[in-house]
Amino acid sequence: MTDTQTAPGGVFRLGGDLPVHRLGYGAMQITGPGVWGEPSDREGAKAVLRRAVELGVNLIDTADSYGPYVSEEIIREALHPYPADLVIATKGGFVRTGPNKWIPVGRPEYLRQEVEMSLRRLGLERIDLYQLHRVDPKVPVADQVGELRALQQEGKIRHIGLSEVDPDMIEEAAKTAEIVSVQNLYNLADRKHEAVLEYAESKGIAFIPWFPIATGKLAEPGSVLENSAKEHNASPAQLALAWLLRRSPVMLPIPGTRSVSHLEENVAAAGISLTDEDFKALSAL
């Protein structure tokens, strides 16, 4: 693999004005077990982040709840002062009470506090993409998104996104602020959010699939996925990423890893060209 990939996966413009390379990096895994506490190798986590930027990745996705706070802190330690084209997307709206425990909180005062703290931890004056990590069912959507809109008007947020929503929720949120991205679970093995992807395409909204390289039983020995991967001299995970990039021009996969070698393998997936037959066969799985 070459030392630098100039634009992994091509380019997408968030909100029409913020160009990012379509294959990004998800920084959830640079924390401890259960997305809780410190990673076992903090310096190794920073090395992964620096290598990602070297390889041309310029979209890093994180959240205040990763750690909590640990992921954002490590990103700053590793990369600040940031390259001019680096987009750090973060999220708020979860309270953490322990490993693998996630409690949605969308009260406006809480969201404002978390935006202010993310700005401080990341060393930013403005967050390029701030995503509501979950819609809190106990708080009106207009109040949650409205607070982010107020912070946007104050110059602390550039663009607003949502996570784990359906088309109706996006429509509801869009009454209060422009929504430029949606981040839902989606991968080759789990496509239950197909309607959300199609909605995003129709509106020109970025679709950021989390858990993008899950393959499960699709990668079993002798499977279509494994055989196709062998034909491309690639791994099943690489084929899964290549399929996502081919699936839609609004797709922005953010595979995460703690390993530099695994990171390099993921980024190399952007260079795999699937034939029409390959794409159809994988889509039919």
Residues forming the active site:
66
Given the structure tokens 């940031």, which residue do they identify? 82
Crossing angle of helices 224-231 and 236-247, rounded to 10°: 90
Q: Which amino acid is at 28?
A: M
- For the chain, report the end-to-end CA distance as a whole number of angstroms: 29
Q: Which residue has the tokens 């992994």?
A: 8
Task: Quickly tell me which residue has 């699939």 as its tokens.
Answer: 209
Spell out the alpha helix ranges (H) of 31-97: 42-54, 70-79
Determine contact, residues 254/24, Cβ cutoff 8 Å: yes
Whether residue 27 contacts residue 49, with contact meaning beta carbons closer than 8 Å, is answered with yes
Nearest to 204 by CA among 236, 242, 255, 170: 170
Provide Rg for the chain, Cα atoms: 18
Angstrom distance (rounded) from CA 49 to CA 1: 18
Q: In whole angstroms, give the CA distance from residue 92 to residue 120.
A: 14
Of the CA atoms within 13 Å of residue 80, those in its CB half-sphere come to 14
DSSP3 helix / strand / coil % (the chain, rounded to 5): 40, 20, 45
Q: Which residues, listed in sequence order, are joined to residue 131 by a DSSP beta bridge?
A: 91, 161
Of 78, 37, 44, the closest CA to residue 60 belongs to 78
